[in-house]
Amino acid sequence: MTSNAAHTSSDAVAFADRIGELLTTMRSAEAELGALLVDIEQRGVMELFGYRSAARLLEHVGDVPKPAAERLVKRARLVNPGRNLDGSPIPALAPATGAAALAGRLSNPMIDVITDVLAQVPPVHCSSAEANLLTFAEEAGHKQVAALGARILAHLVPDGTAPDDIEPVAPARELFLRRKRTGVWELSGRFDDETGTRASALLDALAERRNGDEGPDFRTTPQRYGDAFSDAVDLALNSPDLPMQAGERAHVMVAVSLEDLKSGVGKATLGDTGEMSAAEARVHACDAMIIPAVLGANSEPLNLGRLRRLISAGLRRALFLRDRGCAFPGCHRPPRHCQGHHIRHWADGGPTDLTNLVLMCAHHHRLLHRSGWEVRIAADGRPEFLPPVFIDRRRLPRRNNLHETLPFAA
C-alpha cells in the first residue's frame, strides 16, 4: 500500500513536471510568435505578404481562428515595443511582462490580467505596479493576480479617475500610415470612443453625396469617405492653428520641372518618397497648399519669386468676401474648405489678383482642372462657370447662388 502510494506519487511529480515543461515551451513559443508578428506588422504586413493585418496572416498561414489570431496579436502589441510613424521606438506598455512571457512563465490569462491593469494605471506607476503583479504571479493564479490588480487600481485610481497630482491615463490611440511600394498609402488605427465619434462626425459631414450641377454622385460609400478624408487633411492644413514647421505652415515639398508644370505632363516628386503626376502638381501649385520646387532644365531650383506671388492674406480675405465659399455652381462648402484657383495658371504667366482667382473647394478645384468645365470672371466681377458640352451644348454660364446673403437676413 505504502509502496504503491509512493510509486503513484513519484509518477505524479514526473507527470506534473512534464506538463510544466511543455507549457513553458508552448508559452515561450507563443510569446516569440507574437513578437515576430508585431515586428512584421511594423514593417508592413501588406507590403511583405499582401495581407491586411498580422492576425489575418496568422489566420491563413496557421489555420488559426480569427478571434484567437486577433487576441494573440493584440496581446503581443502590449508587451512588445512599438514604432512611431517616423520609425522611432515606442516602449512597450508591459516590457517586464513581455520578458516573463518569452521565458514561458506566464499563461495567456495572466498576461491579459496584468496588461489590463497596467493600461489603467497612471504611467508614472506603471513599472512598479508591473513588478508587484509579476512577483505575485509567480505563486498565484490569474484570478488572484486580478484581485491584486483591482486593489492597486483602487489605490492609484480611486473612482476610476487619477488623483490630481498624477497625469491622467492617456486614451489608447494608435494610427498607422504607411506608403506601399506601389505609391498607395494604407491607413489603419484604433481610437478611444470620443476620438472615434468626433472623427466619424467630421467624415460624415464631408462625405455627403454631392448634388451639384455636375450630375448625380455615383461614388461608393468607401470612395466618398476616402474623398472626405482627403478633404479633412486639406482642411487641417488650411487651419491657422496648424503647428509651424521652421517658421512656415506645414507643407509638402513637390519637385517638378517648369516644363512639366506648364504642360501638366510628366511626373513630380512628392516629399521624400512619393510621386504624383505633373497634372496633379499643377492643381496643388495653383494655391499654396503644396509649395512646388520648380526645377529648370538641369534640375536647378528656379527662383519662384519671379514666377509667381503667393496669395497674400489680404488678397485671400478679399477673395473670401467676394466668393463667400466654393464658387462652383451648387457647392455649399464655406471658405475654410477652399483654395484659390488661378484661372490662368501662374506657371503660364497668370497674375495673382482678384481678376484671375476663384475660390474653390478641393473637390471642385480638381474637377475644374481635369474636366471640361471652365471658369471666367464675368463683367460684374463675379466668377461664372461654363459647363462642358456633354452637360449643356450651348455652354450657358452658371453661378453658385448658395452663398448669397438672403435679403431678409440683414
Residue ranges binding Zn ion (CB under 5 A): 286, 326, 328, 331, 333, 341, 361, 364
CB 262, min distance to Zn ion, A: 14
CB 261, min distance to Zn ion, A: 12
Query: Which CB, 27 or 341, lies closer to Zn ion?
Result: 341
Query: Which CB, 102 or 358, lies closer to Zn ion?
Result: 358
Which cell numbers hold the place of 18? 512534464
Which cell numbers hold the place of 370? 481635369
Task: Annotate 164-187 with DSSP letters as a single string.
Answer: TTSPPPPP--EEEEEE-TTS-EEE
Task: Annotate 255-293 with DSSP letters as a single string.
Answer: EEEHHHHHH--SEEEETTTEEEEHHHHHHHHHSSSEEEE
Cα–Cα distance, 320 to 338 (Å, whole number): 9
The upper half-sphere exposure of residue 320, i.e. CA atoms within 13 Å in the direction of its Cβ, equals 12
CB 370, min distance to Zn ion, A: 10
Residue 59 contacts residue 66 (beta carbons within 8 Å): yes
CB 369, min distance to Zn ion, A: 6
Which cell numbers hold the place of 267? 511626373
Cα–Cα distance, 60 to 69 (Å, whole number): 10
Neighbouring residues of 294: CB distance < 8 A, sequence distance ≥ 6? 256, 257, 258, 261, 301, 302, 304, 307, 347
Number of H helices, E strands in the chain: 15, 14
CB 331, min distance to Zn ion, A: 3
Which cell numbers hold the place of 300? 536647378
Query: Which CB, 216 or 407, lies closer to Zn ion?
Result: 216
Query: Which CB, 35 or 289, lies closer to Zn ion?
Result: 289
CB 336, min distance to Zn ion, A: 13
Query: Which CB, 261 or 326, lies closer to Zn ion?
Result: 326
Query: Which CB, 56 or 333, lies closer to Zn ion?
Result: 333
Cell numbers 513588478 correspond to: 131
Cell numbers 521624400 correspond to: 272
CB 209, min distance to Zn ion, A: 13
Query: Which CB, 328 or 373, lies closer to Zn ion?
Result: 328
